[in-house]
Amino acid sequence: KQEVTQIPAALSVPEGENLVLNCSFTDSAIYNLQWFRQDPGKGLTSLLLIQSSQREQTSGRLNASLDKSSGRSTLYIAASQPGDSATYLCAVDPGGGADGLTFGKGTHLIIQP
């Protein structure tokens, strides 16, 4: 059974810092990996999707990497802003649709003004 772990569980940093969120998964047979952002009481907003054949994806100040063989992904946030404060969730897709996405518990990020 696939298990996804996110470290750290919570992180508080001053505005302007660069930071890295970590995600690890136990079964490397994945179709893709997706990073999401969730604001309190809201749904999930997709940030980046990395296909299993890719090593990284970039969108603005966000960069996500994937090392499928070691079961790891990182989300790099450059020049953090208070508006980046949210919970960041990592999810892996086994492909084929069955079982949907398997999520980690998330990293709760606070950016101090």
Partner 1 sequence: DTGVSQDPRHKITKRGQNVTFRCDPISEHNRLYWYRQTLGQGPEFLTYFQNEAQLEKSRLLSDRFSAERPKGSFSTLEIQRTEQGDSAMYLCASSLLGNEAFFGQGTRLTVV
Q: Which residues pair with 70 in a beta bridge?
A: none
Q: Which residues, including other chains, have CB under 8 Å from residue 1's CB and lie 6 or more apart?
A: none
State the number of binding residues for partner 1 (CB under 8 A): 27
- Chain residues 10-49 in contact with partner 1, contact rule CB under 8 A: 31-32, 34, 36, 41-46, 49
- Chain residues 63-82 in contact with partner 1, contact rule CB under 8 A: none
- Chain residues 93-112 in contact with partner 1, contact rule CB under 8 A: 93, 95-106
| Nearer residue to partner 1 within complex by CB, 48 or 111 | 48
Q: Residue 106 and residue 113: Cα distance in Å, rounded? A: 22
Which residues here bind partner 1, judged by CB under 8 A? Answer: 4, 31-32, 34, 36, 41-46, 49, 89, 91, 93, 95-106
